[in-house]
Amino acid sequence: MTLRKGIISTFVSKTGVALLGLLMVIVISRYLGAEGRGRIALFMSSVALLQMFCDFGNSSVLINLSYTRPQRSLWLSSILWVGAVCLLAYPFLLLFGDLPFAMLVPPAAFLYSLINLQQMLLMGRQRVAQRNLSMLLLPIFIIPGFLLLFNATSMGSAAYPAALFIALGISALVSRLMVSDLLQADTEGFSFQTEVLKQGSWVQGAQALQFLNYRLNFFLVAWFISDAALGIYNNAVILCESVWILGHSIGQMQHMQILNSTDERAHVRLSKKLMAWNFGGSLLLCIMLLAIPNILWTRLFGSGFSEMSALFPYLIPGVLCFSISNIINHFMHARGLFKQILICNAFGLLCGLSASLLLIPSYGLEGACLAWSAGLAAAMLFYLFRFKLISDNIFGNR
């Protein structure tokens, strides 16, 4: 698949997932209100937090390793790690009795990780169309499942995790069928792939810092302000993050292009070109987001979200900063520069957390948004600095 065609295919699929995700946010917000939306956000953030630990043995390094390692061993090695992490999570969750649906967090994280594992094996074999199709399954099934359970039963907010598990089960099964030929074709006996953990520790260490950089505020907003404020903040952030679909689509194809080429100078030139594409496209999408009148959001989400659109100007600088660092991240990842990615993300997290602790108590949601952008801006500056050093070294400018 060509670079342009792959980017378009991935962008269309991710856009479809994002639109369905937005529809799910609208449905939950209208049915459960701002406080219910906040409870669901805490549950899903907790799942994502546990999944962050699962991904130390189930990270995107599997795409790189799938070119040289046996598929079945990679698959089993990751499953063993993820299963152990999820089981060990239960004693810790007992300490958080007020966490919504706490006991459902580990199985949800396991299923999410299993789906991601199978999608990464598809990407490693450049089966972009199959991977894109599997991405659509989860949001397609969760929306009607939630509506049916909420309206036909007295489950209330519990209808969401019930519908989530149905959708996760279907998505896990279908993605498993998609990789079944890869696993069956591998006739080698099982051997635990230690590189999954060795390289995954660096990769996921960096991803964990990045996750905390733009998700830690969820917990801080709930702590310093309220669950209802978190519902508003969560929706605003999700809408702004939808702009990143373009960058993730470009970056994934950039990643495969670099892995399938040995011309380092071409890697740098490609990354510079894609950086410009992503920043320009992201800027255009941000302008379109700002142009949407506030009345549309209140009609979609409800009157409790009337102040949501006022947060966009504070979030958009962070969106644009990430549009640059995201491309550099994929460039470094494909070259195996995991330590450098971790350093860049650590710098961003340190700046973002400091800003959050200073701004959220004083300025509320506006402060949370400014802190979110500050962390992403700091990370971008460090990414640009490292990219310039690498580029100068490749072209002999130093």
List pLDDT tens digits, range 199-239: 777 777 777 777 777 677 777 887 888 877 887 888 888 88
Q: Give the pLDDT of residue 6.
A: 62
> Is residue 106 over pLDDT 90?
yes
Average pLDDT, the chain: 84
For residue 133, the model assigns a pLDDT of 79
Residue 398 has pLDDT above 70, yes or no: no
pLDDT, residue 385, reads 93
Q: Inform me whether the pLDDT recorded for 97 exceeds 80.
A: no
Say how many residues make up the chain.
Answer: 398
Percent pLDDT > 90 in the chain is 28
Stretch 104-133: mean pLDDT, rounded?
85
Distance CA 57, CA 61 (A): 9
Give the tens place of pLDDT for each residue, 270-329.
999 999 999 999 999 999 999 988 888 888 777 777 888 889 999 999 999 999 999 999
For residue 11, give both structure tokens. Answer: 């962008």
